[in-house]
Homo-oligomer: A and B are copies of this chain.
Amino acid sequence: MKTQEIADFVSGKLFGAGDIEIIGIAEVLKASNGQIAFVEKAGTFTATKASCLIVHDDFDTYLSNQETPSEIITRGCYISVRQPKLAFALIAEKLHPPKKPTPGIHPSAVISESARIGSDVFIAAHVSVGDNSVIGVGTQLRAGAKVGDRVKIGSDCVIHPNVFIEDCCTIGHKVILHSGVVIGADGFGYVRDKQKHVKFPQIGTVVIEDDVEIGANSCVDRGALGETRIGAGTKIDNLVQVGHNVNIGKHVIIAAQTGISGSVVIEDDCTIGGQVGFGDHVRVLSGAVIGSQAGVLPGKIVRPGVWWGTPIQPLDEYKRQNAHVKSIERLKAEVKLLKKIFEDKPLP
Protein backbone atom coordinates (compact mmCIF):
# COMPACT_ATOMS: atom_id res chain seq x y z
CA MET A 1 0.00 0.00 0.00
CA LYS A 2 1.09 3.50 -0.70
CA THR A 3 1.13 5.98 2.17
CA GLN A 4 -1.72 8.02 0.67
CA GLU A 5 -3.89 4.89 0.43
CA ILE A 6 -3.15 4.07 4.05
CA ALA A 7 -4.02 7.60 5.19
CA ASP A 8 -7.31 7.39 3.31
CA PHE A 9 -8.03 3.93 4.71
CA VAL A 10 -7.74 5.12 8.32
CA SER A 11 -9.20 8.57 7.64
CA GLY A 12 -5.94 10.15 8.77
CA LYS A 13 -4.10 13.31 7.82
CA LEU A 14 -0.97 12.65 5.75
CA PHE A 15 2.21 14.66 6.21
CA GLY A 16 5.00 14.02 3.73
CA ALA A 17 5.05 11.94 0.56
CA GLY A 18 1.95 9.95 -0.40
CA ASP A 19 3.63 7.53 -2.76
CA ILE A 20 5.93 5.65 -0.39
CA GLU A 21 5.38 1.91 -0.68
CA ILE A 22 4.67 0.25 2.69
CA ILE A 23 5.07 -3.50 2.78
CA GLY A 24 4.79 -4.36 6.43
CA ILE A 25 4.32 -3.32 10.04
CA ALA A 26 6.82 -3.22 12.87
CA GLU A 27 7.51 -1.93 16.36
CA VAL A 28 8.55 1.68 16.29
CA LEU A 29 12.11 1.06 17.48
CA LYS A 30 12.70 -1.99 15.30
CA ALA A 31 11.08 -0.77 12.11
CA SER A 32 13.11 -0.32 8.93
CA ASN A 33 12.64 0.88 5.40
CA GLY A 34 9.27 -0.01 3.89
CA GLN A 35 7.60 -0.54 7.25
CA ILE A 36 4.97 1.40 9.09
CA ALA A 37 4.90 1.81 12.88
CA PHE A 38 2.86 3.74 15.42
CA VAL A 39 3.39 5.77 18.56
CA GLU A 40 0.74 6.28 21.18
CA LYS A 41 2.14 9.54 22.41
CA ALA A 42 4.07 12.28 20.73
CA GLY A 43 7.69 12.35 21.74
CA THR A 44 8.39 8.65 21.80
CA PHE A 45 9.17 8.12 18.14
CA THR A 46 12.36 10.01 17.55
CA ALA A 47 14.61 7.07 16.85
CA THR A 48 12.42 5.16 14.40
CA LYS A 49 13.61 4.11 10.96
CA ALA A 50 10.09 3.37 9.78
CA SER A 51 9.10 4.81 6.40
CA CYS A 52 5.81 5.95 7.83
CA LEU A 53 4.58 6.58 11.33
CA ILE A 54 1.02 6.61 12.62
CA VAL A 55 0.81 9.37 15.19
CA HIS A 56 -1.80 11.03 17.33
CA ASP A 57 -3.76 14.08 16.25
CA ASP A 58 -1.83 16.16 18.75
CA PHE A 59 1.33 15.54 16.76
CA ASP A 60 0.97 18.87 14.95
CA THR A 61 1.26 20.76 18.19
CA TYR A 62 4.16 18.60 19.22
CA LEU A 63 5.94 19.14 15.95
CA SER A 64 5.61 22.90 16.08
CA ASN A 65 7.28 22.85 19.49
CA GLN A 66 10.31 20.96 18.23
CA GLU A 67 13.47 22.72 17.24
CA THR A 68 14.16 20.63 14.16
CA PRO A 69 10.79 19.60 12.74
CA SER A 70 12.16 19.47 9.25
CA GLU A 71 14.50 16.66 10.20
CA ILE A 72 11.64 14.60 11.50
CA ILE A 73 9.63 15.04 8.37
CA THR A 74 12.49 14.33 6.00
CA ARG A 75 13.03 11.03 7.76
CA GLY A 76 9.79 9.81 6.26
CA CYS A 77 6.14 10.60 6.36
CA TYR A 78 3.52 10.38 9.02
CA ILE A 79 -0.23 10.02 9.32
CA SER A 80 -2.07 11.57 12.22
CA VAL A 81 -5.26 9.97 13.56
CA ARG A 82 -7.34 10.04 16.72
CA GLN A 83 -6.50 6.48 17.77
CA PRO A 84 -3.04 5.51 16.51
CA LYS A 85 -3.07 1.98 17.96
CA LEU A 86 -6.45 1.22 16.43
CA ALA A 87 -5.40 2.60 13.05
CA PHE A 88 -2.24 0.51 13.23
CA ALA A 89 -4.26 -2.63 13.98
CA LEU A 90 -6.53 -1.98 11.00
CA ILE A 91 -3.56 -1.36 8.69
CA ALA A 92 -1.87 -4.50 9.99
CA GLU A 93 -4.91 -6.54 9.03
CA LYS A 94 -4.63 -5.14 5.49
CA LEU A 95 -0.89 -5.63 5.15
CA HIS A 96 -0.71 -8.97 6.95
CA PRO A 97 -4.02 -10.69 6.30
CA PRO A 98 -4.38 -13.97 8.20
CA LYS A 99 -2.98 -16.93 6.26
CA LYS A 100 -5.70 -18.47 4.10
CA PRO A 101 -4.67 -21.95 3.04
CA THR A 102 -5.88 -23.36 -0.27
CA PRO A 103 -9.28 -24.95 0.27
CA GLY A 104 -9.46 -28.70 0.18
CA ILE A 105 -9.73 -31.77 2.34
CA HIS A 106 -6.57 -33.66 3.20
CA PRO A 107 -6.84 -37.36 2.37
CA SER A 108 -5.94 -38.33 5.94
CA ALA A 109 -8.96 -36.45 7.33
CA VAL A 110 -11.92 -38.61 8.32
CA ILE A 111 -15.19 -36.90 7.45
CA SER A 112 -18.55 -38.52 8.08
CA GLU A 113 -20.59 -39.02 4.93
CA SER A 114 -23.49 -37.26 6.58
CA ALA A 115 -21.44 -34.15 7.39
CA ARG A 116 -22.10 -31.11 5.21
CA ILE A 117 -18.92 -29.28 4.25
CA GLY A 118 -19.32 -25.76 2.83
CA SER A 119 -17.43 -24.35 -0.12
CA ASP A 120 -13.87 -23.06 0.30
CA VAL A 121 -13.39 -25.08 3.45
CA PHE A 122 -9.86 -26.13 4.39
CA ILE A 123 -9.55 -29.39 6.27
CA ALA A 124 -6.03 -30.39 7.22
CA ALA A 125 -4.35 -33.68 8.06
CA HIS A 126 -5.80 -35.95 10.74
CA VAL A 127 -8.95 -33.93 11.25
CA SER A 128 -12.15 -35.80 11.98
CA VAL A 129 -15.73 -34.58 11.57
CA GLY A 130 -18.65 -36.59 12.97
CA ASP A 131 -22.11 -37.42 11.71
CA ASN A 132 -24.48 -34.68 10.59
CA SER A 133 -22.05 -31.89 11.43
CA VAL A 134 -22.01 -28.76 9.33
CA ILE A 135 -18.89 -26.78 8.45
CA GLY A 136 -19.55 -23.28 7.07
CA VAL A 137 -18.10 -21.60 4.00
CA GLY A 138 -14.42 -20.67 4.18
CA THR A 139 -13.83 -22.25 7.58
CA GLN A 140 -10.47 -23.86 8.39
CA LEU A 141 -10.10 -27.02 10.44
CA ARG A 142 -6.40 -27.26 11.07
CA ALA A 143 -4.34 -30.39 11.68
CA GLY A 144 -5.72 -32.79 14.25
CA ALA A 145 -8.87 -30.79 15.05
CA LYS A 146 -11.70 -33.10 16.09
CA VAL A 147 -15.35 -32.26 15.56
CA GLY A 148 -18.08 -34.45 17.07
CA ASP A 149 -21.54 -35.28 15.76
CA ARG A 150 -24.27 -32.72 14.97
CA VAL A 151 -21.85 -29.83 15.50
CA LYS A 152 -22.56 -26.62 13.59
CA ILE A 153 -19.63 -24.39 12.71
CA GLY A 154 -20.31 -21.13 10.88
CA SER A 155 -18.36 -19.52 8.06
CA ASP A 156 -14.82 -18.12 8.09
CA CYS A 157 -13.86 -19.74 11.38
CA VAL A 158 -10.33 -20.84 12.21
CA ILE A 159 -10.27 -24.00 14.31
CA HIS A 160 -6.62 -24.47 15.24
CA PRO A 161 -4.75 -27.77 15.63
CA ASN A 162 -5.90 -30.32 18.17
CA VAL A 163 -9.06 -28.44 19.14
CA PHE A 164 -11.98 -30.64 20.14
CA ILE A 165 -15.62 -29.67 19.71
CA GLU A 166 -18.03 -32.11 21.33
CA ASP A 167 -21.35 -33.31 19.91
CA CYS A 168 -24.20 -30.85 19.35
CA CYS A 169 -22.23 -27.65 20.03
CA THR A 170 -22.80 -24.58 17.88
CA ILE A 171 -20.05 -22.24 16.73
CA GLY A 172 -20.92 -18.94 15.00
CA HIS A 173 -19.18 -17.14 12.15
CA LYS A 174 -15.61 -15.80 12.23
CA VAL A 175 -14.86 -17.63 15.45
CA ILE A 176 -11.22 -18.42 16.29
CA LEU A 177 -10.50 -21.37 18.57
CA HIS A 178 -6.81 -21.68 19.39
CA SER A 179 -4.93 -24.92 19.68
CA GLY A 180 -6.03 -27.34 22.38
CA VAL A 181 -9.35 -25.64 23.12
CA VAL A 182 -12.03 -28.06 24.35
CA ILE A 183 -15.63 -27.06 23.69
CA GLY A 184 -18.47 -29.02 25.22
CA ALA A 185 -16.84 -31.44 27.62
CA ASP A 186 -19.06 -32.49 30.51
CA GLY A 187 -19.57 -29.95 33.27
CA PHE A 188 -18.50 -30.79 36.80
CA GLY A 189 -21.64 -31.83 38.64
CA TYR A 190 -22.30 -34.70 41.01
CA VAL A 191 -24.88 -35.66 43.57
CA ARG A 192 -23.70 -37.35 46.71
CA ASP A 193 -25.19 -40.78 47.31
CA LYS A 194 -23.81 -41.89 50.66
CA GLN A 195 -20.10 -42.11 49.91
CA LYS A 196 -20.29 -42.10 46.11
CA HIS A 197 -20.61 -39.15 43.75
CA VAL A 198 -23.32 -39.83 41.14
CA LYS A 199 -22.87 -37.87 37.93
CA PHE A 200 -25.51 -35.21 37.43
CA PRO A 201 -26.61 -35.24 33.77
CA GLN A 202 -24.45 -33.07 31.50
CA ILE A 203 -26.53 -33.24 28.36
CA GLY A 204 -26.84 -29.58 27.45
CA THR A 205 -24.87 -27.74 24.78
CA VAL A 206 -22.48 -24.89 24.10
CA VAL A 207 -23.29 -21.94 21.87
CA ILE A 208 -20.45 -19.69 20.77
CA GLU A 209 -21.60 -16.62 18.93
CA ASP A 210 -19.91 -14.73 16.08
CA ASP A 211 -16.46 -13.13 16.31
CA VAL A 212 -15.52 -14.90 19.52
CA GLU A 213 -11.84 -15.79 20.03
CA ILE A 214 -10.79 -18.37 22.62
CA GLY A 215 -7.17 -18.90 23.66
CA ALA A 216 -5.09 -22.04 23.66
CA ASN A 217 -6.04 -24.91 25.99
CA SER A 218 -9.10 -23.11 27.35
CA CYS A 219 -12.20 -25.17 28.16
CA VAL A 220 -15.89 -24.37 27.78
CA ASP A 221 -18.08 -27.03 29.38
CA ARG A 222 -21.49 -27.92 27.99
CA GLY A 223 -24.59 -27.03 29.96
CA ALA A 224 -25.89 -29.59 32.42
CA LEU A 225 -29.41 -29.35 31.03
CA GLY A 226 -29.46 -26.01 29.24
CA GLU A 227 -26.67 -24.29 27.39
CA THR A 228 -23.36 -22.56 28.04
CA ARG A 229 -23.20 -19.42 25.89
CA ILE A 230 -20.44 -17.03 24.89
CA GLY A 231 -21.71 -13.81 23.36
CA ALA A 232 -20.66 -12.20 20.09
CA GLY A 233 -17.31 -10.42 20.02
CA THR A 234 -16.13 -11.78 23.36
CA LYS A 235 -12.41 -12.54 23.63
CA ILE A 236 -11.06 -15.18 26.00
CA ASP A 237 -7.37 -15.78 26.70
CA ASN A 238 -5.47 -19.05 27.24
CA LEU A 239 -6.14 -21.68 29.90
CA VAL A 240 -9.49 -20.21 30.95
CA GLN A 241 -12.15 -22.45 32.46
CA VAL A 242 -15.79 -21.75 31.60
CA GLY A 243 -18.13 -23.97 33.61
CA HIS A 244 -21.48 -25.43 32.67
CA ASN A 245 -24.45 -23.12 32.09
CA VAL A 246 -22.26 -20.02 32.21
CA ASN A 247 -23.65 -17.15 30.18
CA ILE A 248 -21.10 -14.62 28.97
CA GLY A 249 -22.38 -11.53 27.20
CA LYS A 250 -21.05 -9.67 24.18
CA HIS A 251 -17.66 -7.92 23.87
CA VAL A 252 -16.40 -9.26 27.17
CA ILE A 253 -12.63 -9.57 27.73
CA ILE A 254 -11.36 -12.41 29.93
CA ALA A 255 -7.62 -12.77 30.58
CA ALA A 256 -5.66 -15.98 31.03
CA GLN A 257 -6.27 -18.67 33.64
CA THR A 258 -9.51 -17.22 34.96
CA GLY A 259 -12.00 -19.79 36.23
CA ILE A 260 -15.76 -19.35 35.96
CA SER A 261 -17.94 -21.74 37.95
CA GLY A 262 -21.30 -23.08 36.90
CA SER A 263 -24.25 -20.79 36.10
CA VAL A 264 -22.27 -17.56 36.34
CA VAL A 265 -23.60 -14.68 34.25
CA ILE A 266 -21.18 -12.05 32.93
CA GLU A 267 -23.03 -9.32 31.13
CA ASP A 268 -21.90 -7.32 28.07
CA ASP A 269 -18.72 -5.25 27.98
CA CYS A 270 -17.17 -6.53 31.19
CA THR A 271 -13.40 -6.82 31.55
CA ILE A 272 -12.05 -9.67 33.65
CA GLY A 273 -8.36 -9.94 34.61
CA GLY A 274 -6.24 -13.08 34.74
CA GLN A 275 -6.49 -15.82 37.38
CA VAL A 276 -9.81 -14.49 38.65
CA GLY A 277 -12.07 -17.06 40.31
CA PHE A 278 -15.87 -16.94 40.22
CA GLY A 279 -18.02 -18.99 42.57
CA ASP A 280 -21.19 -20.37 41.05
CA HIS A 281 -24.27 -18.27 40.30
CA VAL A 282 -22.33 -14.99 40.37
CA ARG A 283 -23.81 -12.24 38.19
CA VAL A 284 -21.45 -9.54 36.88
CA LEU A 285 -23.40 -6.53 35.67
CA SER A 286 -22.61 -4.88 32.36
CA GLY A 287 -19.43 -2.83 32.31
CA ALA A 288 -17.84 -4.13 35.49
CA VAL A 289 -14.06 -4.50 35.61
CA ILE A 290 -12.53 -7.18 37.85
CA GLY A 291 -8.79 -7.12 38.61
CA SER A 292 -6.46 -10.08 38.25
CA GLN A 293 -6.44 -12.79 40.94
CA ALA A 294 -9.71 -11.49 42.40
CA GLY A 295 -12.11 -13.99 43.94
CA VAL A 296 -15.89 -13.60 43.73
CA LEU A 297 -17.96 -15.51 46.26
CA PRO A 298 -20.87 -17.67 45.04
CA GLY A 299 -24.09 -15.84 44.33
CA LYS A 300 -22.51 -12.38 44.47
CA ILE A 301 -23.88 -9.61 42.25
CA VAL A 302 -21.02 -7.44 40.97
CA ARG A 303 -22.11 -3.92 40.06
CA PRO A 304 -20.39 -1.73 37.45
CA GLY A 305 -17.10 -0.28 38.65
CA VAL A 306 -13.61 -1.57 39.29
CA TRP A 307 -13.27 -4.50 41.70
CA TRP A 308 -10.26 -6.09 43.32
CA GLY A 309 -9.15 -8.70 45.86
CA THR A 310 -10.61 -11.78 47.50
CA PRO A 311 -13.41 -11.47 48.37
CA ILE A 312 -13.76 -8.67 45.83
CA GLN A 313 -14.33 -5.10 46.94
CA PRO A 314 -14.30 -1.79 45.08
CA LEU A 315 -10.74 -0.89 44.11
CA ASP A 316 -10.75 2.22 46.31
CA GLU A 317 -11.79 0.23 49.34
CA TYR A 318 -9.24 -2.43 48.54
CA LYS A 319 -6.49 0.17 48.40
CA ARG A 320 -7.67 1.88 51.58
CA GLN A 321 -7.85 -1.44 53.37
CA ASN A 322 -4.35 -2.36 52.22
CA ALA A 323 -3.12 0.97 53.55
CA HIS A 324 -4.91 0.31 56.84
CA VAL A 325 -3.21 -3.06 57.16
CA LYS A 326 0.13 -1.44 56.59
CA SER A 327 -0.66 1.06 59.37
CA ILE A 328 -1.27 -1.56 62.06
CA GLU A 329 2.35 -1.43 63.13
CA ARG A 330 2.19 2.29 63.88
CA LEU A 331 -1.17 1.88 65.54
CA LYS A 332 0.26 -0.74 67.87
CA ALA A 333 3.07 1.62 68.80
CA GLU A 334 0.61 4.37 69.57
CA VAL A 335 -1.52 2.14 71.77
CA LYS A 336 1.60 0.94 73.55
CA LEU A 337 2.56 4.53 74.27
CA LEU A 338 -0.88 5.38 75.59
CA LYS A 339 -0.76 2.37 77.88
CA LYS A 340 2.67 3.34 79.10
CA ILE A 341 1.44 6.83 79.95
CA PHE A 342 -1.28 5.29 82.04
CA GLU A 343 1.11 2.99 83.77
CA ASP A 344 3.63 5.74 84.45
CA LYS A 345 1.09 8.26 85.57
CA PRO A 346 -1.96 6.46 86.87
CA LEU A 347 -5.11 8.44 87.04
CA PRO A 348 -6.10 9.58 90.50
Contact = CB atoms under 8 A, between A and B. Distances in A.
Interface of A: 25-27, 30, 83, 85-86, 88-90, 92-93, 96, 99, 106, 108, 110, 124-126, 128, 142-144, 146, 160-162, 164, 166-167, 176, 178-180, 182, 185-186, 188, 190-193, 195-201, 203, 211, 213, 215-217, 219, 221, 225-226, 233, 235, 237-239, 241, 243, 250-251, 253, 255-257, 259, 261, 269, 274-275, 277, 279, 292-293, 295, 310, 320-321, 324-329, 331-332, 334-335, 338-339, 341-342, 345, 347-348
Nearest to A252: B197
Contact of A185 (B144, B160, B198): B160
Closest 3 CB pairs of A and B: A92-B201, A110-B125, A182-B216
Contacts of A200: 85, 88-89, 92
Contacts of A331: 328, 331-332, 335
Contacts of A161: 146, 164
B201 A179 contact: no
Given A144-B144, A182-B216, 13 more contacts: A93-B198, A108-B108, A126-B126, A180-B182, A195-B251, A197-B233, A217-B217, A239-B241, A257-B277, A293-B310, A324-B325, A324-B328, A338-B339
B128 A126 contact: yes
A196 to B, nearest CB: 6
Contact of A128 (B124, B211, B239): B124
Number of copies: 3
Contacts of A216: 182, 185, 219, 221
B277 A292 contact: yes
Nearest to A344: B347
Contact of A293 (B144, B250, B277): B277
Contacts of A106: 110
A129 to B, nearest CB: 10
A142 B185 CA distance: 13
Contact of A89 (B93, B198, B239, B256): B198
A327 B235 CA distance: 39
A141 to B, nearest CB: 12
B86 A197 contact: no
Contacts of A26: 225
